[in-house]
């Protein structure tokens, strides 16, 4: 497992580098074929390749597959390995993308390998989907992902575990909005009254936006980027802000989107341009409850104490859960530092996670 993981980490695969994602896809496609899986490489004109594989095909007609879900891309740019090389220290393996989520893919492949070695044939075919742009909202192959998920009886997501190895039973929905104010420029000293100050208008709009938050219900809005103006002596004619939105409940999606889009100018001569949406629905716990119960029981038999956790971050599991498909997330590596320089996995946990995943597949 560790040799495979090292090889995967040493293939840098930033989301927006198509040649590098293609190399990553080719690497795992070769591993899948060596494990007697049928694999189809999904091509895209601008994004990197994705993978759709099948194990134990030829099941009775109408047999719904178990859908295993992961992604090939990382947030790290090419060249990161020079300052963050793969290394092992005190029982941990470090490297860009090792926790999020190349270790998860390796655990998935070794779970399949374990079942094959033990002669255990699942009652359902197992489909393996590796996306190429999950870190950038899963645009390239979202249609294919949703189509495959709709066929499935259950979805097992190979994203990294939460703290302490906990499985993720709920995730917040994620969205982004951009509010642009168009005002009118004027000289700040000679005729400021002739201008329409876009920054002032934007500031007032953001106070309105903040009032839409309901933190106790898991609904938050965070202004993460603001820009505007040209010089201190010019009434600014344009200003813009980007707003991160998180929701815990699917029922909050449409009302919140409507309220943001229906914002009206306070200054009668200002104009608002509002773009964006909630692009990942929340993964609500109800969709994971039964799978988590099963995982906890299986983990107990394996000598593992399995806990659950909620997270504010999104994954492709958000999409499958919103379809009403039972979805359990966080089945990948145990470690810490996703998107951070100390990103690592705990080596001894790798075979344990593969064993838990194998047990889940067999029991389904």
> Domain extents for the chain?
2-172+282-363, 173-280
Q: What residues contact 308, with CB distance under 8 A and at least 6 apart? A: 166, 167, 168, 169, 288, 292
CATH of 2-172+282-363, one of 3.30.70.20, 3.40.50.620, 3.40.630.10, 3.10.50.40: 3.40.630.10
Q: Give me the architecture of the 173-280 domain, per CATH.
A: 2-Layer Sandwich (3.30)
pLDDT tens digit at each of 364 positions of the chain = 999 999 999 999 999 999 999 999 999 999 999 999 999 999 999 999 999 999 999 877 778 999 999 999 999 999 999 999 999 999 999 999 999 999 999 999 999 999 999 999 999 999 999 999 999 999 999 999 999 999 999 999 999 999 999 999 999 999 999 999 999 999 999 999 999 999 999 999 999 999 999 999 999 999 999 999 999 999 999 999 999 999 999 999 999 999 999 999 999 999 999 999 999 999 999 999 999 999 999 999 999 999 999 999 999 999 999 999 999 999 999 999 999 999 999 999 999 999 999 999 999 9
Contact 360, 294 (CB under 8 A): yes
Encoding tokens for residue 218? 């898991």
Q: What residues contact 38, with CB distance under 8 A and at least 6 apart? A: 53, 54, 55, 57
Encoding tokens for residue 104? 């998860």
Cis ω before 101 (30° cut-off from 0) = yes
Looking at the DSSP bridge assignments, the partners of residue 181 are 239, 272
């Amino acid at each position: 497992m560790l040799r495979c993981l090292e090889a995967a980490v040493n293939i840098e695969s930033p989301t927006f580098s198509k040649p590098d994602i293609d190399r990553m896809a080719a690497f795992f496609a070769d591993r899948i074929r060596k494990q007697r899986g049928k694999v189809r490489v999904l091509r895209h004109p601008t994004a990197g390749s994705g993978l759709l594989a099948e194990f134990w095909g030829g099941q009775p007609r109408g047999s719904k597959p178990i859908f295993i879900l992961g992604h090939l891309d990382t947030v790290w740019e090419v060249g990161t390995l020079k300052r963050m090389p793969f290394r092992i220290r005190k029982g941990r393996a470090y490297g860009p993308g090792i926790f999020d989520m190349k270790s998860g893919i390796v655990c998935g492949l070794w779970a399949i390998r374990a079942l094959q070695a033990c002669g255990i044939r699942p009652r359902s075919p197992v489909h393996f989907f590796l996306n190429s742009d999950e870190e950038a909202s899963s645009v390239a192959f979202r249609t294919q992902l949703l189509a495959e998920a709709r066929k499935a009886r259950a979805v097992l997501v190979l994203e990294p575990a939460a703290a302490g190895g906990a499985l993720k039973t709920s995730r917040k929905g994620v969205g982004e909005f951009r509010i642009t104010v168009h005002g009118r420029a004027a000289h700040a000293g000679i005729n400021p009254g002739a201008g329409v100050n876009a920054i002032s208008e934007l500031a007032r709009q953001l106070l309105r936006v903040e009032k839409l938050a309901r933190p106790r219900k898991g609904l938050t809005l965070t202004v993460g980027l603001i820009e505007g103006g040209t010089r201190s002596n010019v009434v600014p004619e344009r200003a813009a802000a980007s707003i991160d939105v998180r929701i815990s409940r699917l029922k909050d999606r449409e009302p919140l989107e409507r309220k943001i889009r229906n914002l009206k100018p306070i200054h009668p001569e200002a104009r608002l341009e509002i773009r964006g949406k909630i692009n990942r629905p929340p993964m609500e716990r109800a969709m994971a409850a039964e799978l988590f119960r099963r995982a906890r029981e299986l983990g107990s038999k394996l000598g593992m104490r399995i806990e659950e956790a909620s997270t504010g971050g999104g994954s492709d599991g958000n999409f499958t859960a919103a379809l009403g498909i039972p979805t359990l997330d966080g089945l990948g590596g145990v470690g810490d530092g996703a998107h951070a320089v100390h990103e690592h996995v705990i080596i001894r946990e790798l075979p344990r996670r593969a064993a838990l995943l194998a047990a889940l597949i067999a029991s389904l």
